[in-house]
Amino acid sequence: MKRLLSLTTFLLLTIFASAQRASYDIIPMPKEVKVDTTQLFTLTSSMGIAFDQNNAECTRIAQFLKEWVKEATGIELQQTPANAKSPIRFSLIAPAKKSKRDKKPVALTEQQEESYTLKVDKDGILVTAYKPVGLFRAAQTLRKSLPVTKDAKKIEFPAVTITDQPRFVYRGVMLDCARHFFSVDFVKQYIDVMALHGCNQFHWHLTEDQGWRFEVKALPDLAVKGSVREKTVIGPSRMRIYDNIPYGGYYTQEECRDVVKYAAERYVNIVPEIDMPGHMQSALHVFPNLGCTGGPYPVAPYWGVMRDVLCGGNPETLTFLKTVFGELCDVFPSPYIHIGGDECPKERWQKCPKCQAKIKELGLTTETVKVEGGDDRGSQDGRSAENKLQSYINHEIEQFLASRGRSLIGWDEILAGGLSEGAIVMSWRGTKGGVAAAKQKHRVIMSPNVFAYLDHPQLKDYGKQPRTTDSYIVSCSKIYSFEPLVPEELSDEEDDYILGYQGNLWTEQVAYPEHALYQLLPRLASMCEVQWCKPEQKDFEGWKRRLPQLKKLYDKMGLVYCNEVE
């Protein structure tokens, strides 16, 4: 009996002890994890995190780690100077030189800038990286390795050497804050969730037919009046049944700057999007003279692709756009600025005297060649004179952005009338646009709808999830199965033009933060592994086994997520 009791006690202690142990089975999976099971490091309260206190970024990262350890385990660490004999040390190291004679170290690739090494032995944890961003990634790895417990006294870390570096430089997620408006607090939470998953580009969709959300100081009515629709369609757009409740909201420039700073502290860049020349009905509401017909135009109360777009022939259109993009550049330091460019029907332009006069003045003609990225509204002929007029506008804006040191991103429709020089293509209607752009030596972000549209359901059974965009399922396994380099189409050289993979959360059907999080999670956990890992490392069954540990952290962080995976 006594032996049985002591065996039970032993088993209980073992279970208890293992529940307090860190596990490196995290998402996204690091590039290399070498565990040495013969040694353990035991983390306890009041231990120090040593870092360079003269470096503001290192100081902030140590503070984050302290908060994350407390959040997951209750253990409180101390921050100590770099030279202190603390068991947890975060150090910046200089990149190697090619030879002893070289004065300068070799230039780092963007991926190497984010790389880090994390070593655990019985004496402690040592993190090294070339840049603070690498230390931040390592701190997130430690955070995700922690057991989520309450009031732990100690955490045991198996000895390990982790080396990690992302596969792609651009690891994006978009949030449509125009169909529905999301508060600054929620946007910050979204950025936190992105950072947890190692994403680094927040694509902020700020304008739509249904609402203008970015304050432009030179045009105050744009946000004040353009942000408010009188009512919103309930259910399917074609039914035109409305709630008759005014709906609005916009971000002041001060709020945007605050979000930019918040994101930068978490190594997330914000790519702002002003979608033009289509999806502009909220701006036309305020400035009807910018439309081909002169209006009036309501801020759109239903979803879909609107016929009314900015007039391509009115010189005031370019003046308007340069004012808007000028202020956007003042607020957002991003190297990339998104100009939209999608779903711009040309029927108004075909009939508009101003548009046709501009086409004549520019000598634009319709060519009967079929090109990838042909007009989305039926025309297979990408090289219509009207599409070329859109390219002319894109080109003008590209030059304007270049004068501010920025690169233009556009949805793949920008291929239709010919790409301007440095344009980056965001391929959403499958991968064809991205492949065509890479072959033309343009940079590409892959975001093909059937793999990356997070507004679509994630489970086959519609009844199990909130109502959202239907027609195809974007499950975790589907997202995971995507290979951004499209090996059957692109050569090794062309691969270099693929910057990365992005998920898009459109919000026609998503009005609340909880629903947005449900759409995002755990699908972002699936996507981030494609963004970080080489194809040979990918393993969906393994990913599924690693997910419960991450979900415990979601619970701790109070995040809503879909609890099933397909």
Which residues sit at the interface with ligand ACM, rule CB under 6 A?
Answer: 342-343, 411, 428
Q: How far apart are CA 392 and CA 390, in angstroms?
A: 5
311 binding Zn ion? (CB under 5 A): yes
With respect to ligand ACM, which residue has the nearer C-beta, 52 or 342?
342
Does residue 280 contact residue 207 with C-beta atoms inside 8 Å? yes
**H or E segment to which residue 416 belongs:** none
User: What's the min distance (Å) between Cβ of 343 and ligand ACM?
Assistant: 5
Contacted entry of ligand ACM, Zn ion, none for residue 494, CB cut-off 5 to 8 Å set by kind: none
With respect to Zn ion, which residue has the nearer C-beta, 136 or 349?
349
Residue 219 CB neighbours (<10 A): 18
352 binding Zn ion? (CB under 5 A): yes
Paired with 272 in beta bridges are 204
Among 355, 364, 444, 530, binds Zn ion (CB under 5 A): 355
Binding segment for Zn ion (CB under 5 A), chosen from 344-352, 378-386, 466-474, 491-499, is: 344-352
User: What's the min distance (Å) between Cβ of 22 and ligand ACM?
Assistant: 41
Contacted entry of ligand ACM, Zn ion, none for residue 428, CB cut-off 5 to 8 Å set by kind: ligand ACM
User: What's the min distance (Å) between Cβ of 497 and Zn ion?
Assistant: 34
Q: How far apart are CA 407 and CA 412, in angstroms?
A: 15
Give the chain's count of helices (H) and strands (E). Answer: 19, 17
User: What's the min distance (Å) between Cβ of 269 and ligand ACM?
Assistant: 20
With respect to Zn ion, which residue has the nearer C-beta, 306 or 516?
306
Among 166, 313, 340, 410, binds Zn ion (CB under 5 A): 313
Kindly state the tokens that stand for 18: 């293992």
Of 131, 132, 200, 128, which is closest to residue 163 (Cα–Cα)? Answer: 128
Contacted entry of ligand ACM, Zn ion, none for residue 355, CB cut-off 5 to 8 Å set by kind: Zn ion
With respect to Zn ion, which residue has the nearer C-beta, 135 or 292?
292
Q: How far apart are CA 90 and CA 105, in angstroms?
A: 21
Among 27, 206, 292, 479, binds Zn ion (CB under 5 A): 292
Helices (H), 197-352: 220-226, 253-265, 281-286, 315-331, 347-351
Paired with 118 in beta bridges are 127, 162
Binding segment for Zn ion (CB under 5 A), chosen from 50-58, 253-261, 313-321, 455-463, is: 313-321
Tell me 32's DSSP state.
E
User: What's the min distance (Å) between Cβ of 403 and ligand ACM?
Assistant: 26
Residue with tokens 């022939």: 313
Binding segment for Zn ion (CB under 5 A), chosen from 159-167, 244-252, 291-299, 507-515, is: 291-299
**334 phi-psi bin (left φ>0, alpha ψ -120 to 50, beta other):** beta
- List contacts with Zn ion (CB under 5 A): 292, 311, 313, 352, 354-355
